[in-house]
Structure 1
Amino acid sequence: MASKFEQALAGIDDAHRGDPNIVTVDGSEIPYELHYANKMTKYLEKHNPSASEALKLAVRAQHLRRWEIPRSSYPMTKPGYFSWRTALKNRQADIADEICRNCGYDEDAAGRVAALVRKENMKRDEECQVLEDVACLVFLDDQFEKFEKEHDEEKIVGILKKTWAKMSERGHELALQIDMSDRAKGLVTRALSS
């Protein structure tokens, strides 16, 4: 019989499989959010191989059912963007909490997963910082090259500076190991030197 941790991971991945957005990875088609969750787990293992169950579940649950609330459902302004992000993380935390409880986690343990998904106490919670590092690493590894083609250089450099500022020294170390195109590397170098 599967442990509650294994059941919760499976429940989270089942939710990811509902993503209608498909990507091709190593010749196989897979829902984008499942691909994203796999990347999050990969970077968590690099960052902190002895991570707690709560952190492993929170990392895996980062984008739970995100596609159901598109960015376009909020005003296309900076406040609209932050409102959208807040609504997403609260909803994702609630779904993760429910999955964990349904798999046998008690209120405190499920609540801890939800708190990490919401990134509560970012400055004081070491696990929360690890989760933030992992999300930034996945952005740099998996989303940055597409993102940088869609925006002007100044905006990209600004985003890179903000991303770098959110990360710990360990996050920086791992970020500098990511294989990037020459253009992307140049933008990162520019952001870090200015």
Structure 2
Amino acid sequence: MGDSVSLDKLAETTGVEKDTLKAAIEELTEIYNNDDSRGITIIRLDESYQLCTKTDLYEYVRVMAEKRTRNSLSNAALEVLSIVAYNQPVTRSSIEYIRGVNSDGSLARLLEFGLVQEVGRLDAPGRPVLFGTTEEFLRCFALSDLTDLPKVEKTLSLDEMADRNQDQYAMDITGEGEEGKLYIHPTEDETEVPQFDEEEM
């Protein structure tokens, strides 16, 4: 699979204004999408673009392509990925505070797959690493940018959930306090970590 090309790189290479390039790309994309005889299209990944096979032809391409071993993500890794996606940039300790369990293995797996990357360091004692999602994350989940992430609907409040199951943990991934909560169960193969105040994070 090829790589995407940023709009800045296209402008630098061609000497064409970015607005003109963007309009041309959008026009070309529309032509590809409206012509069933064409098997390719252009996708946008943040401020980059990539030429790729249309999704309805994926199975044909897959059969012809060299068979590769497909690695899958565990539920724990998907939970960590969702935390990073909705809260980025986020530290390792914040991820574990939200989940209530050690997440080293899951985070390492996501880094290995190129779905998560280090994006900086928090201006706090110890300068902990901040994590965010990658362009590969957008590509894998067919997102143009992070605004395409599904909105999270309101679920049970923390008190309501505590009454129902004391072993559940809450994660605020909407930035709206009590308005949006996603509740995550620690998996059997993970170790719980002590809860602590946010001031200690």
TM band (smaller chain): under 0.3
Task: Provide the TM-score with structure 1 as the length reference.
Answer: 0.26
Structure with more strand by fraction: 2
Identify the structure with bigger relative contact order (alpha carbons < 8 Å, sequence gap 6+): 1
